[in-house]
Amino acid sequence: MGNLLQIKNGEVVERQRIPQVDFARFFRIMTDFVANNGYIVQFFAYAEEGRTKLMAVVRNSNLFIISTVVDSEFPSLTLTIGTKFHLFEREIAEQYGIRPAGHPWLKMVRYHANVTGKPDVFGNNYRVDIPGKYNYFQVQGESIHEVAVGPVHAGIIEPGHFRFLCSGEEVLHLEIQLGYQHRGIERMLTEVPQQRLPILCEAIAGDTAIGHNLCCCQAIEALACITIDRGASTVRTIALELERIANHLGDLGALSGDVAFHPPAAYFGRMRGEFLNLLLVLCGNRFGKSLIRPGGVSQVMTGEQRDIIKNKIKELRPEIEHVCNLLFSAHTVLARFEYTGTVGRKMADELGMVGYCGRASGLEYDVREFFPTECYADLPANTNKVTNGDVYSRAMVRQEEIMHALTLIEMLLAKEEEPHRRVSLAAHQLAPDSFVVTLNEGWRGEVSHCLLTDSEGKIARYKVKDPSFHNWTGLAMALRNQEISDFPLCNKSFNLSYCGFDL
């Protein structure tokens, strides 16, 4: 794999060290890499010296980067190499007006004009903001009907449009159109003062405030050569795990609510609140906003807080076990969960799914284990046992991860108290002409931020990737040949982010 440069998670690379090859070679390297169990972490376009370049961050058990120069068109990698590239290429086409020629499904991602001012690849003029303006897939036949759901839904959930092509109750295909919450975050991140970066990153996806912010802060620390206190690392790890527990508990509750098994829904809902309150104890915000800041954490974790968390976990662990038992031992629930919305290992692998969705299908990828940050190198990894790729597996992975996360927090709290100082927001001088990519296992999966700085150390390109970006297509695939009435259950078992995708 000649020209790939191996890097570490959160390692600063000078831009001139990034290997740059011509497109034909890039194409060959990518073909080889993906064929040998390689996955895409980031694949995006950026401008350099008046030219447009493509940067690929890829992984197998290591991280690699490579870049290439493209003109207004390049032969689609999706077409020849595989589906892993498809959404990335569509994003490149939308953001920089470059056409991946021969892309099998070239459709806009978020409905916005490109940054280069080139003619739009999709032929839209964007005078009116209508993300769903597009000719959806059609299936024809006598008993075929379409059901359009959203973008405004019943209940308080985010906007997204779902188009079901059905034959009676059976879904032949589900087409998902997002983009209704596009806020232009990537662009904003390059324009605002540096102190605002963590605050903006906390708002990329409200339920992953810690995951996204952690990526951002680690990137800034790397670029500004800041090392953080060991104690601050512990607090960050605990916060990330608390976020994971709270969200997984909420999801298990929602899953039982969706099959009309209400008692666990109520219990899990209450326990989710308890864990959010632990984040409140840590930093004063139930979603952990304002906790992580470049250089460390904004609040010092004292012995009192350690005790509160320790005692709460001791109190809640048996309760969680009990309610999980109630949920997973009800045969009516299992009848709904098992064999519903199955994504097989092969399909998950082709799509490059990440997080619990990927692990439920048997893809053993966990950033905490592969590219550990903070305290994860010293902590044991989790292995999930149920890998059938159905709703049941996705629910079981959550249960296992909750138990695992509880153990991790207990291990971290069992250590001696480590002194750490509190930091406040400040602007740091970033290394000029550099590149950094940070990865963390947010509760949904691999969260990744890429930063490129210019010759003055200003951020020239900021690329954000939420795990949902990999997994939305998985949901569409899970629905094939399922009953349309099982969609809410499948959707909840994936529980993907709309705003994290829309950016």
For the record, the structure tokens of 188 come out as 């904003």
Residue 104 or 263: the one with the smaller Cβ distance to another protein is: 263
Exposed (0-12), middle (13-18) or buried (19+): which is 40, by Cβ within 10 Å? buried
| Residue 188 CA neighbour count, 13 Å, CB half | 15
Q: Please compute Rg for the chain using Cα positions.
A: 22
Q: Least CB distance from residue 264 to another protein, whole Å?
A: 9
Distance CA 476, CA 107 (A): 15
Smallest distance, Å, CB 171 to another protein?
10
Comparing CB distances to another protein, the nearer of 234 and 399 is 399
- What lies within 8 Å, CB to CB, of 318 at 6+ separation is none
CA distance 458 to 452: 8
Q: Which residue number, 56 or 327, has a Cβ lying nearer to another protein?
A: 327
CB of 150 to another protein, least distance (A): 10
Least Å from the CB of residue 302 to another protein? 33
Enumerate binding residues for another protein (CB under 8 A): 145-149, 154-155, 169, 256, 258-263, 265-267, 270, 330, 332-333, 335-336, 340, 483-489
| Structure tokens belonging to residue 328 | 């997973």
Per residue in 256-287, is it b (16+ CB within 10 Å) or e — as a string? Answer: bbbbebeebbebbbebbebbbebbebbbebbb
Single-letter residue type at 157:
I
Minimum Å gap between C-beta 329 and another protein is: 12
Cβ pair 365, 358 in contact under 8 A: yes
Smallest separation (angstroms) from another protein to the CB of 362: 24
Contact call for residues 70 and 23 (beta carbons, < 8 A) = yes
Q: Using the minimum distance from each CB to another protein, give the nearer residue, 208 or 340.
A: 340
* 450-471 burial: b if 16+ Cβ within 10 Å, else e: bbbbbeebebbbbbbbbbbbbb
Q: Which is nearer to another protein, 170 or 369 (CB)?
A: 170
Give me 494's structure tokens: 């994936």
CB closer to another protein, 61 vs 329: 329
Our CB check for another protein shows the closer of 2 and 263 to be 263
Residue whose CB is less far from another protein, 336 or 359: 336
Nearer to another protein, 338 or 433 (CB): 338
The CB-of-486 to another protein minimum distance in angstroms stands at 7
Per DSSP, what are the bridge partners of residue 70?
A: 52
Nearer to another protein, 168 or 284 (CB): 168
Strand duo 20-21 + 63-70: pairing: parallel
How many other CB atoms are found less than 10 A from the CB of residue 105? Answer: 12
Q: Shortest gap between Cβ of 147 and another protein (angstroms)?
A: 5
| CB 259 to another protein: min, Å | 4
Is 186 in contact with 204 (CB distance < 8 Å)? no
The answer to whether residues 296 and 228 touch, using CB atoms and an 8 Å cutoff, is yes
CB of 90 vs another protein, minimal distance in Å: 27
With respect to another protein, which residue has the nearer C-beta, 162 or 435?
162
CB 67, min distance to another protein, A = 44
Burial 70-98 (b: 16+ CB within 10 A, else e): beeebebbbeebbbbbbbbbbbbbbbbbb
**Distances 236 to 59, 137, 215, 240, 426 between C-alpha atoms, Å:** 25, 44, 11, 6, 19
